[in-house]
Amino acid sequence: MKIVDSPKELRKHISQLNREKILVYPILTSLERHSNLSRISSIILSDGVLDLFINYHNIDSDKVEEKVDFSQFKEVWVVGLKEFLYHYDFLPNMYDVEMSLFWQDKDFEVEEKRIYTVFRRRNAPRANDLIPIWKHYEQFKEWKKFYGDVKISKFSQLYSKGLQWVEKNGLSTEEGLEYTQYNSLTTTSRPSNTFGGTNYAALKKEGGIRDRFVSRFDGGKLYQLDFDGYHIRLIAKLIGVNIPLDKKAHKWLADQYGADIKDAKAITFRQLYGGVEDEYYDIPFFKKTSDYINSMWMDFLRNREVVTPILQRKIKFNENLNKNKLFNYILQSVETERNILILDKLSRINVGQQTLPILYTYDSILFDGHDSDIEYIKEVKRIMEKDGFPTEVESGNNYGNMVTTII
């Protein structure tokens, strides 16, 4: 390992790295603060042979001329790409190590060195500046073991890029911004979203918990775009059933039961997640759903793995499953993969809008809307609704008081 602690040495040693593929291990100053509120303390770069420890105590990581120019490499593999993008602009040659290994269903759990645990408990604000370089290097070498296993896929970019596009904006409150933190390394890739003791993926509508979230713009509003009956419509796509676009999915099924909406929802969820009961089997939607579940289950029993329908991720399960639980896992994967592709499309829109995405919660996206951007909200709605997924819009002065809005 070569330690680089001056701009001159940085330029000299960077030129010695192989241009085909490099591994990037960013080290932020804090172990506890959000990545958006921390800075890069050091970066370890490796082409598999030469390891460079770039010490930013003597190099200004905020100066463009003293940053690493990653465009000169064919493949840039980052440990923690989502966090890295708070400090470097995304480039098409950047990929996430963890998400690549996750997509391949590789076992890549890296145990954190004890010194990090000790400093985390002390809550030191600049812990990584205090931890010795050689300890950081030891941790890096655990990740370097996987250098030869990474493979380019949509997974190795889309999740980190799309979720960071939302996460970086924060939720505005009277006291300032609150930041969320998505983690996609879950069985189904459906991200958890907890930071600072708050589970932002499950903020209750009751009790005024959501009221503190307001627009950061003068005259602005919050806009939530929410898919109608999302899981029902996702299943319909999987099994080849057409649900009318002008009717709510739950109402469409309720009419077939002869039940009111409240009772119908309970019936629907029971059939989808507990198995189709005999009295509902003649309804084409449920018959085809049951056939799909049985076919998927037989494939799983033969292969001991399933492949997600959209992004083709192989999932192997080490737990005891039944066919309905497996179906629920697949459904969450389909939901998440479709949403990630939508976030990617939305992140590419640039019509001069000031409106920002601030929260993604499985079947909806919350925006902090500038009062001049109603056409942008309409475009977001159009993209979300593509391929037969009607989307409702709610707006309000705070997240706890949203009302249905026609745009």
- Map out the domains of the chain with their CATH numbers: 2-153 (3.30.420.10), 171-407 (3.30.70.370)
Q: What pLDDT was estimated at residue 67?
A: 81
Name beta bridge partners: 26.
43
Distance CA 242, CA 35 (A): 44
pLDDT for the residue numbered 215: 98
- Which letter, b or e, does each residue of 180-201 get, where b requires 16 or more Cβ atoms within 10 Å of its Cβ? bbbebeeebbbbebeeeeeebb
Identity of the amino acid at 109: E
Residue of 64, 66, 84 lying closest to 22 (CA atoms): 84
Tokens 């979300």, located at residue: 384
pLDDT for res 61: 58
User: What's the confidence (pLDDT) of residue 154?
Assistant: 84
Sign of the C-alpha dihedral computed for residues 244, 247, 250 and 251 taken in this order: negative
* Whole-number Å distance between alpha carbons of 135 and 323: 46
- Torsional sign, CA 93, 96, 99, 102: positive
Exposure string for 40-76, b = 16+ CB within 10 A, e = fewer:
bbbbbbbbeeebbbbbbeebebeeeebbbebeebeeb
Element (H, E) at 255: helix 249-257
Contact call for residues 243 and 233 (beta carbons, < 8 A): yes
CA distance between the termini of the chain: 58
In this prediction, residue 198 carries a pLDDT of 96
**What is the rounded CA–CA span in Å between residue 135 and residue 141?**
10
Q: Name residue 27's beta-bridge partners.
A: 42
In tens, the pLDDT along 292-317 reads: 999 999 999 998 889 999 999 988 88
Helix and strand counts by DSSP (H, E) for the chain = 13, 18
What pLDDT is stored for residue 62 in this prediction?
62
Please tell me the distance from the alpha carbon of residue 47 to that of residue 18, in angstroms, as a whole number: 6
Closest Cα to residue 165, out of 353, 345, 313?
345
Residues 6+ apart with CB under 8 A from 368: 169, 172, 215, 216, 217, 220, 222, 355, 356, 358
What is the pLDDT at residue 65?
Answer: 58
The pLDDT of residue 10 is 87
Within 13 Å of residue 367, how many CA atoms lie on the same side as its CB? Answer: 26
Residue positions counted in the chain: 407
Contact criterion met (CB below 8 Å) for 296 and 308: no
Cβ-proximal residues to 37 (8 Å cutoff; 6+ apart), any chain: 30, 179
Q: What is the pLDDT along the chain (407 residues), one digit of tens a residue?
A: 999 988 888 889 999 999 999 999 999 999 889 999 998 889 999 999 999 999 887 666 566 556 889 999 999 999 999 999 999 999 999 999 999 999 988 888 899 999 999 988 888 888 999 999 999 999 999 999 999 999 998 888 999 999 999 999 999 999 999 999 999 999 999 999 999 999 999 999 999 999 999 999 999 999 999 999 999 999 999 999 999 999 999 999 999 998 898 899 999 999 998 889 999 999 999 999 999 999 999 999 998 889 999 999 988 887 788 999 999 999 999 999 999 999 999 999 988 999 999 999 999 999 999 999 999 999 999 999 999 999 999 999 999 999 999 98
- Rounded Cα–Cα distance for residues 354 and 162 (Å): 18
pTM: 0.94
Residue 105: its pLDDT value, please? 87
pLDDT at 250: 96
Cα–Cα dist 139/125, whole Å: 20
Q: Helices (DSSP H) in 260-322: which residue ranges?
A: 261-274, 284-303
Under 8 Å between Cβ of 108 and 151: no
pLDDT value for 60: 64
Compute the distance between CA of residue 404 and CA of residue 395 in angstroms, rounded to an integer.
7
